[in-house]
Amino acid sequence: MKLLLPVLLWLSASAALAAAPNAQALATSKNCLACHAVERKLVGPSYQDVAARYAGQKDAVSRLAEKIQKGGSGSWGPVPMPANPVTPEEAKMLATWVLSQKK
């Protein structure tokens, strides 16, 4: 019994850590990183800037997930983001990952 709790904690911690590289691989495979970088502006805003702007906003994941899927303009400048070929689940995973980027 004494061993069980640390093992469970270790399992849940490694599951959380595994999500980040998966989302980054997804961002690479969906070409997000052709227009975005984590730390600096390219065609689109850096993901750290996006995370800073929406920090603490409860509906940020769903709003950004929708924008990732459908595209749009006007939040960061006149250049639009085109719609991206992602499923709603992938869009949500990417939005969560973007919002986790801290300076």
Q: For the beta carbon of residue 50, count every other beta carbon within 10 angstroms.
A: 21
Smallest distance from the beta carbon of 85 to ligand HEC, in angstroms? 8
29 lies in the binding site for ligand HEC (CB under 6 A): no
Residue 19 tokens read as 């999500």
The answer to the question of residue 74 lying near ligand HEC (CB under 6 A) is yes
Residue span 34-63 as binding mask against ligand HEC, x where in contact by CB under 6 A, dash where not:
xxx------xxx----x-------------
Burial of 35 (0-12, 13-18, 19+ CB in 10 A): middle
Nearer to ligand HEC, 48 or 75 (CB): 75
Whole-angstrom Cα distance, residue 55 to residue 70?
22
Is residue 42 within 8 Å of residue 36, measured between CB atoms?
A: yes
User: Footprint of ligand HEC on this chain (CB under 6 A)?
Assistant: 27, 30-32, 34-36, 43-45, 50, 64, 67-68, 72-77, 79, 81-82, 84, 86, 94, 98
